[in-house]
Amino acid sequence: MNIDLININKSFDGEQVINNFNGIIEENKITCIMGESGIGKTTLINMILGLEKPDSGKILGLDQRKISAVFQEDRLCEEFNCIQNLRIVCDRNISDKELTRLLYSLELGEVMYKKVSLLSGGMKRRLAIGRALIFDADIIVMDEPFKGLDRELHAKIIELVKKKAKGKILIVVTHSMEEVKSLNANLIVL
C-alpha cells in the first residue's frame, strides 16, 4: 500500500514549515526527499514516524505497518556492542550467524564485539543503518544515512540498503542527486 500524504500543514511557533503538502510514497519503491536545509524534510519524516503530528491533513497507509528508522543522529546504545545493538530490535529467531553476516557486509565484522562508544563516526553510522535493516519493518525511513561515508564504502552500503529494502518502502532524506540516481529512487523535492 502507498503512503498518501494529503494536504499536510505544520507550523512551529507560528512559523509555517510544511504548507499544504501533497505527495505519494509508492509501495515497493525507494523515495528520496530533497530540499534545502531547514525546508522541513525531517519534519515530514517525523510525521510519518509519528513523532510529530500534522496541524491539519492526513497521512494514509501507515496503519498496522512496522517502521524502522535511521535518525539524523545515530541513537545507538553506546554501552552495548554492535551485536547487542542489533539484538535489541530483531526477532529471537534471527541467528548470531545472520547478524554477523550483516555486520561483515557493513564492514563492521572486525569490531562487532566492541562497545559503540569506542567506534568511529562512520562505523556508528553503518551500525545505525544495519539496525534499521535487521528490524522486520514494512517501511524504512532514513535521514541522511550515507553522509560522511567515504566513497568506496558509500557505494557498497547503498547497494546493501537497496538489496535489503526490496519489497519494502524505503524513504531516504538526502542532499545528493548522485544518491537519488544510485538508489534509482522516486524523488520528492520540498
Ligand X SMILES: Nc1ncnc2c1ncn2[C@@H]1O[C@H](COP(=O)(O)OP(=O)(O)OP(=O)(O)O)[C@@H](O)[C@H]1O
Instruction: Give residues in contact with ligand X (CB under 6 A).
Output: 12-13, 17, 35, 37-43
Q: How far apart are CA 60 and CA 1, in angstroms?
A: 9
Nearest residue (CB) to ligand X, 74 versus 85: 74
Contact 93, 116 (CB under 8 A): no
Q: How far apart are CA 169 and CA 62, in angstroms?
A: 11
CB of 163 to ligand X, least distance (A): 27
Nearest residue (CB) to ligand X, 4 versus 52: 52
CB of 52 to ligand X, least distance (A): 7
Q: In whole angstroms, how far apart are CA 127 and each of 7, 49, 54, 167?
A: 35, 20, 31, 22
Nearest residue (CB) to ligand X, 18 versus 140: 18
Is 165 exposed, middle or buried (CB count within 10 Å of its CB: 0-12, 13-18, 19+)?
buried
Question: What's the CA dihedral at 117, 80, 108, 110 to 10 degrees?
Answer: 90
Nearest residue (CB) to ligand X, 41 versus 164: 41
Nearest residue (CB) to ligand X, 17 versus 108: 17
Contact 167, 29 (CB under 8 A): no
In the chain the first and final C-alpha atoms are separated, in Å, by 23
CB of 16 to ligand X, least distance (A): 10
CB of 60 to ligand X, least distance (A): 21
CB of 40 to ligand X, least distance (A): 4
Contact 127, 74 (CB under 8 A): yes
With helix as H, strand as E and coil as C, how does 119-157 read? CCHHHHHHHHHHHHHHCCCCEEEEECCCCCCCHHHHHHH
CB of 152 to ligand X, least distance (A): 25
Nearest residue (CB) to ligand X, 42 versus 81: 42
